Structure 1
C-alpha cells in the first residue's frame, strides 16, 4: 500500500462511517443523455482510474481487472437531501471504493452522484474525478491516465522514496517533542456545556484585502487567513504561539497533479505571536512551506516515533487547533456578509477548528469553538475579528491585539510554566489522586511546576504515577512534564 492508503486506514471506521470517511461529488448530465450513456461514462471512468477498482488486503493493494458497479436510480422528489440516502461504510478489502447514484427527472438522467471511499481519493482527486466524468458524459476525449496508486507505491519503495519518508518521520518527531505541553491553557468557564459553537463568515472586502496583503508580503492567500486566526486566538489565550494542524495536499510533483488516489496528510504549522500582523503573515507562510516539505510520511513509522517522543516528555500530543482548507470543494452556504450561526449538526474534533471554504472573490470561513471555553457571541466576535484584522492590515501593518475578543481571565491558581498556562490547583488535585492526599505539595518555582515530597518517597515511581493519572484524568490545563529528579534542603522534589 501507499503511505496515503495506510494513513486513511488508520482512522476510518469500518462500521459507522464518519463525515470524512466517504467523499462525494455531483456531476450534471447533459440534456438528452440516455441511461446507457451514463453507464458507459461511469464504466470508462472506473476503467481509466485504477484507484476506483483497488481493494486493500493484508497491507497490499489489489487492482481488479473487471467487475460490476450497480448504480442506484432515484427520481428527484422533495429536496436534494431526499434524492440520495446517506452512504454506508465501505469495506476496503471487499467493496469497490466507489458507488454511484443516478438522479432522474421524469425518468431521464440529469445528475450523477459519486461516493468514493477516502482510501481511494482525497479532495483534490474528487475534483479530478468530477471533471473527468463531466468530460466523459459530454463525449469529450481524455488522455490516458498514466500514474496510479500502484505506481506510487513502487516509487515509495525505492531508496529515494524511503529516504524521503524517513526524513519526514524525523521532522515530525521533533515537532512533537517541541510542542507545548498545554497549548490551549484557557479555563473551562462552562464545564457542563456540550459540543461547539459554530459560526460562518462571508466577506468580499476581506478577499480584496487579502490580495493587497499578498502583493505586499509575497505570502500565499491561505497564510494570511491562517495568521489572522492564529493571531487572534493567541491574543485571547495569552499564549506566545500555537500549532495549527493542517492538511497538506502533497501534489508538488508533476505526476501527482492529475493523480487519483489519496496523498493528502496532516501537517503541523507552528505560529509565533507578534505585535506586527504582517510579520506574522510572512512567518506563517514560511512555516507552512517548511512543513509541506515533510507532508508525506509513513503513518506506522510516525506513530512509533511519536510514541517515543511522547514517552520522553511524559505527555501526549493533542490536536488543539485545526485549520481545514476545503476551498473549491465545499457546498457550505455562506452568509452574504458578516458572521452568522452555522448548522448545529457539524461535528468538530478539536477545541478550536477553522474551516476555509472560499478565497476567490469572497472570504468564506467557518469556526467551531468548544462551548466549554466561550459563549456563542464570543465565537462570533473571534471569527468577525479575522475579517476586521485582515481589512485593517491591507492599509498598513497593525497590532492583532486590537481585534478579536478580550484576553481570557484566569484565576489565581493559573501560572506560566515552560511557555504553558497551567492550572496549579488542577495539578495538585491529580497529584493527590496519584499519591494520596498530603503526600506532595505542588507549587510553581520559576519556569517549573514542582511537587515536594518526603525523604522516603521513590521519586521515579511517584513521577510515573502522576503522569499516569494526568493521562487518565485528561484534565484541561493540567500537565506532567517529563524531567524529574532533583533534591532540596528540606526534602525532595519531582519537577
Structure 2
C-alpha cells in the first residue's frame, strides 16, 4: 500500500489514531497540546558528538521519527522521508548570573515544549541543548504525539542511552534491526479491522455505550466557552505507601488489579461530584497486541470508554466487581480504534468538549525506562505545555514511596484550588474504601475531619443575640416611644411621624379586634402603596392577627383561591378596589369609606394589649408555587425579627432612610417595612410608575436622600444600565431575586457605586434573605456572583439526595435552617 513519491520517500495511509489526531490538530493549528516534551539536566562531561550521532541513529532506525503528513485526495497520509539526521542546536547561558540563568532555562524549556510542529514540514522529533557551564547542560527533546506515545518514550530513552554508550566508546550500534516499522502496523491494522472482526468489535462497543450520557458535567468554576482553548495546568500529590498497599490488597481479595480498584474509586468520586450514576471515563491502553510492535516508536495507544453503573446502593466491594467486569470486557475488545468507534456512534460534534467522554484515567504501573548516559548524572527538569486535552485527566503512578497522583485540567473550567481540593477528596475517599470496602459508596466520606468541621460548624457559626421573645408590634411601639416625632413614613406630600403612625394603627387594630381578629387569624390587606398600607399591616399585627397582602392586579380566580385558602374572614381595602375581590361572606373594612372611617376614628389610639407572641403568625405571602397553584408561606414574628434585628448583612439606624419599592405581596417588603420601622428610620414609599422610569427613579432617590434599598435583579439591571449614577448616594444597596449579572455589577463598581453593594438570596420560606455576599470586586472573567454566606442566625448546607452534607465543589441541593425558616 506504499506509494513512492521521490527517491527514498514513501506514502502510507495513516493509522486510525493518527487520522483523528491529524484532523483535531487542523481545528487548532499552532497549538502545542499534542507535544510530548522531555527535559533533563546533564551533569558531567558530555560527548556532544556521540549524543548527536545517537539521535541521528534513532531517526534512521525508526521511520516514525522522520515522518511528515500530507493531505492526498482529502485524506491525510504518512510521508516517510529519508534519514537526514537531527539538528542539535546549543544555546550558551554560561555567562548569565545564577538566578537569571535559572529563569532563562525555565523560559527556554517551556518555550521549546510549547512550540508547535508543522506536521507537513517539520520532523516530529526535535532536540535542543542549553549550556549552563562546562560540566552542566540541559537536554530538551520534544516529539509529536502523532508518532509517539508513553510506551514509545520508554523505547526512545532506552535506545538513546544504549546508542550514546556505544558511540561514546567508539563502538557500533548494539541494537538489532527492527523487524517492522510503524507503517507496517498501519497496513496490518486496516487489513485486520474489517469483516467479522470489525463487526464483532463494533457490536460490543455499541451495546456497551447504548444510552450512555454524552456529557459528564463536573461542577466547574466557569461555564464552558463555545470553543475550547485547550489551555491547561497540573496539580500533583503523593498518597502514602500504606494506602497504595491497602488498595492493592482490597483489589486482590476481589480478583481485581490496582487499575480496576483505582478506576472504581475515581468513578465513585465523579459520581459524588456530579450526582450522576452513569459514569463514562476514558482510559488509554498500550495497543501493542503483537510482540514485534513492542520495540517500535509510534502512536499505538488506544482509548477505551469505561462505563460504570453506580446505581443500586452498592458497597464499594460490589462496585469493584462491576468495574472488574467492565474492564475485562473492554480489554477483550481493545482493537477497535476509538476513532472508528466515534465514527460509528456519530455523536454530535461540539467544539467545546470531547465526544464520548470528557474525563480520562490512567495508571502507570510499569516502570518507564529512564534515560541513562554513561559519565553523566541526569535529573529530570519539569516541562509543561500549558495544555489539557480533556476537561480533567487523572494520572496515577505506582512509586517506591507511594501512589503518585497528577491531575491535568482545563483552566477554561477549573481553578487550581478546585483541583487541589479534588485530590484531597480522592485521598479521603480511598482511605475510607480501604478502611471499610463493604460500606455503601454514597456513604463513603469525601471531606476529612477538618473540612467537615468547617462545613458543619465554622461556616454556620452565625449565632447572634436578637430579641427573639419580642413581637414586631412590641418593637415598633418601643421605637415609637423613643422617637415619637421622628419621620416614620413619607409618600408624596403625606408624612407620618412615629407617633401618628402608631395612633392610626392602634385605632384600626381595635376595630379589627371587634371583628374577631386575634392570634393566627389571617386578615387580607388590599391597599395601594401609601401610609394607609403601612398602618394597615401594623394594625393587623397589633390586633394579634397575620396580614395577607393581596395584589388587586392578580386574576380574580387567583384572588378567590387566596381568600379561601388563607381562610380570610376580614379584608382591609379601599373603595376603589372593592369590585376586584370576590369577597363572599368575608367582612370588608374600607379605610376610606365614610362609615368605616367613622368607626375607626371612634376607637382609642392607645396601644392595645398584646394579642400574639413571637411564634404566632405575622403574615402569609403567596408564591406562584412549583405547580402553578399559589402557595401560602406562613411566617411568624420571630422569623421577621431575626431578619432585621442585630443582623450582620446590614446595620440600620435611625439615621437611615429606607425606600419601599416592592409590592407588599412580595416578601422583600418585609425588609423594607420592618427594617426601617423597627430601627427608627424613615420609610419612603415610591410609586410604581416612578420606579419603572430610571431617570425619575434616580431623581427620587436623590431628592429623598435614600440610604438603604433593596432592588430585584431585573430592576437593578435596568437602572444600572440606564442611570448608572442613581445609587451613588446609597449606603446599602441589596440586590436579589434572580441570578446576578456580573457585567452590570462590575460596571456599577467602576462608576459611582453605593458604599456597600450586596447580592442577597433567599426563598420566601426563609423570610426574605438567607445569605448575603458583599460585592467589592468583580473580575473581568467572572461569570457569576456568589450568593455568599448565611445571614445571622441562619445555617446553610449543601447536601446530596441522601441528605449527606457534600464538600465544597460537589453538586447538591441547598438546605437552609434557623429561625428564619
Identify the TM-score tier after normalising by the shorter chain.
Answer: 0.5 to 0.7
The answer on 1:291 being equivalent to 2:326 is no
> Within 2, Cα distance between the matches of 1:293 and 1:72?
46
CA deviation vs aligned residue, 1:258-284 (integer Å, no higher than 9, x gap) = 221001122210122253112222322
Distance 1:173 1:133, change over 3 A: same
Deviation at 1:393, TM superposition (A): 3.2
SS in structure 1 at match of 2:129:
strand
> Within 2, Cα distance between the matches of 1:255 and 1:192?
43
Could you say which residue in structure 1 is the equivalent of 2:24? Answer: 11
Deviation at 1:23, TM superposition (A): 0.9
Could you say which residue in structure 2 is the equivalent of 1:231? Answer: 268
Distance 1:27 1:45, change over 3 A: farther
Deviation at 1:244, TM superposition (A): 0.7
CA deviation vs aligned residue, 1:95-122 (integer Å, no higher than 9, x gap) = 2211111233435674432211111111
The answer on 1:365 being equivalent to 2:398 is no
Distance 1:70 1:353, change over 3 A: closer
Asked if 2 retains the 8 angstrom alpha-carbon contact of 1:125 and 1:261, the reply is yes
Distance 1:201 1:109, change over 3 A: closer
Deviation at 1:73, TM superposition (A): 0.8
Asked if 1 retains the 8 angstrom alpha-carbon contact of 2:304 and 2:334, the reply is yes
Asked if 1 retains the 8 angstrom alpha-carbon contact of 2:59 and 2:83, the reply is no
Could you say which residue in structure 2 is the equivalent of 1:103? Answer: 130
Distance 1:360 1:280, change over 3 A: farther
Could you say which residue in structure 2 is the equivalent of 1:245? Answer: 282
The answer on 1:218 being equivalent to 2:218 is no
Could you say which residue in structure 2 is the equivalent of 1:38? Answer: 51
Q: 1:280 aligns with which of 301, 305, 319?
A: 319
Distance 1:56 1:206, change over 3 A: same
Q: 2:236 aligns with which of 200, 205, 211?
A: 200
Distance 1:155 1:350, change over 3 A: closer
Could you say which residue in structure 1 is the equivalent of 2:102? Answer: 78
Deviation at 1:394, TM superposition (A): 3.0
Could you say which residue in structure 2 is the equivalent of 1:399? Answer: 440
> Within 2, Cα distance between the matches of 1:32 and 1:367?
37
Deviation at 1:301, TM superposition (A): 4.2
- Please list, as runs of the form range in 1=range in 2, the aligned pairs for 1:22-421 lying within 5 A after superposition: 22-26=35-39, 31-57=44-70, 58=72, 59-75=76-92, 77-79=101-103, 80-84=105-109, 85-86=111-112, 87-107=114-134, 110-139=137-166, 141-159=174-192, 163-180=196-213, 183-184=216-217, 199-204=235-240, 205-273=242-310, 275-297=314-336, 301-307=340-346, 317=355, 319-325=357-363, 347-348=387-388, 350-367=390-407, 380-397=420-437, 398-400=439-441, 401-404=443-446
SS in structure 2 at match of 1:403:
coil
SS in structure 1 at match of 2:423:
helix
TM-score normalised by the chain length of structure 1: 0.67
> Within 1, Cα distance between the matches of 2:417 and 2:41?
40
CA deviation vs aligned residue, 1:362-397 (integer Å, no higher than 9, x gap) = 122234678999997775554323223333433442
Larger Rg: 2
> Within 2, Cα distance between the matches of 1:362 and 1:353?
19
> Within 1, Cα distance between the matches of 2:150 and 2:186?
20
Distance 1:162 1:155, change over 3 A: farther
Distance 1:46 1:387, change over 3 A: same
> Within 2, Cα distance between the matches of 1:197 and 1:25?
17
Which blocks of at least 5 consecutive residues in structure 2 are unaligned? Answer: 1-13, 94-100, 167-172, 371-382, 456-624, 627-821
Q: Work out the number of aligned pairs and report it.
A: 392
SS in structure 2 at match of 1:91:
coil
RCO greater where, 1 or 2, for CA within 8 Å and sep 6 or more?
1
Deviation at 1:189, TM superposition (A): 8.6
> What CA RMSD, in Å, does the superposition of the two structures yield over aligned residues?
4.0
Asked if 2 retains the 8 angstrom alpha-carbon contact of 1:72 and 1:100, the reply is yes
Asked if 2 retains the 8 angstrom alpha-carbon contact of 1:27 and 1:130, the reply is no
Asked if 1 retains the 8 angstrom alpha-carbon contact of 2:233 and 2:411, the reply is yes
Distance 1:326 1:348, change over 3 A: farther
SS in structure 1 at match of 2:116:
coil
SS in structure 1 at match of 2:281:
strand
SS in structure 1 at match of 2:29:
coil
SS in structure 2 at match of 1:394:
helix
> Within 2, Cα distance between the matches of 1:52 and 1:373?
35
Asked if 2 retains the 8 angstrom alpha-carbon contact of 1:101 and 1:114, the reply is yes
CA deviation vs aligned residue, 1:405-434 (integer Å, no higher than 9, x gap) = 599xxxx98xxxxxxxxxxxxxxxxxxxxx
> Within 2, Cα distance between the matches of 1:123 and 1:262?
9
Asked if 1 retains the 8 angstrom alpha-carbon contact of 2:233 and 2:408, the reply is yes
Deviation at 1:46, TM superposition (A): 1.0
> Within 2, Cα distance between the matches of 1:404 and 1:372?
25
Distance 1:289 1:69, change over 3 A: same
CA deviation vs aligned residue, 1:418-468 (integer Å, no higher than 9, x gap) = xxxxxxxxxxxxxxxxxxxxxxxxxxxxxxxxxxxxxxxxxxxxxxxxxxx
Asked if 1 retains the 8 angstrom alpha-carbon contact of 2:215 and 2:357, the reply is no
> Within 1, Cα distance between the matches of 2:221 and 2:308?
25
CA deviation vs aligned residue, 1:474-493 (integer Å, no higher than 9, x gap) = xxxxxxxxxxxxxxxxxxxx
